[in-house]
Amino acid sequence: MEQPFGIVIHGGAGTILKKNMTPAMEKEYTDKLAEALNAGYSILEKGGSALDAVEAAVVILEDSPLFNAGKGAVFTHDGKNELDASIMDGKTLKAGAVAGVHTIRNPICAARVVMEKSEHVMMVGKGAEQFAAKMGCAIVDTSYFFTQKRWEQLQEAIRVETIPLDHTDTTSFIYPEGPSDKKYGTVGAVALDKQGNLAAATSTGGMTNKKFGRVGDSPIIGSGTYASNGTSAVSCTGHGEYFIRNVVAYDVSAQMRYGRKSLSEAADFVINQTLQKQDGRGGLIAIDSNANVAMPFNTEGMYRGVRTSRGLNEVKIYENGEKGS
Q: Are strands 83-89 and 198-204 parallel, antiparallel or unpaired?
A: antiparallel
- Taking the C-alpha atoms of residue 159 and residue 306, their distance in angstroms, rounded to an integer, is 39
Active-site residue, 186 included: yes
- Taking the C-alpha atoms of residue 192 and residue 285, their distance in angstroms, rounded to an integer, is 13
> Within 13 A of 175's CA, how many CA atoms are on the CB side?
18
Give the other-Cβ count within 10 Å of 155's Cβ.
13
- Taking the C-alpha atoms of residue 245 and residue 325, their distance in angstroms, rounded to an integer, is 38
* Cα angle, residue 212 at apex, residues 207 and 213 outer, rounded to 5°: 65
CB-based burial of residue 245 (10 Å sphere; 0-12 exposed, 13-18 middle, 19+ buried)? middle
Ordered strands of the 232-238 beta sheet: 225-227, 232-238, 282-288, 293-294
Closest CA to 240 of 86, 128, 26, 127: 86
- Taking the C-alpha atoms of residue 161 and residue 273, their distance in angstroms, rounded to an integer, is 32
Q: What distance lies between CA 284 and its chain's CA centroid?
A: 8
Q: How far apart are the first and last CA of the chain?
A: 38
Catalytic residue among 186, 202, 225, 237: 186
Amino acid 36 reads A
In three-state secondary structure terms, 285 is strand
Amino acid 302 reads M
Active site residues: 186
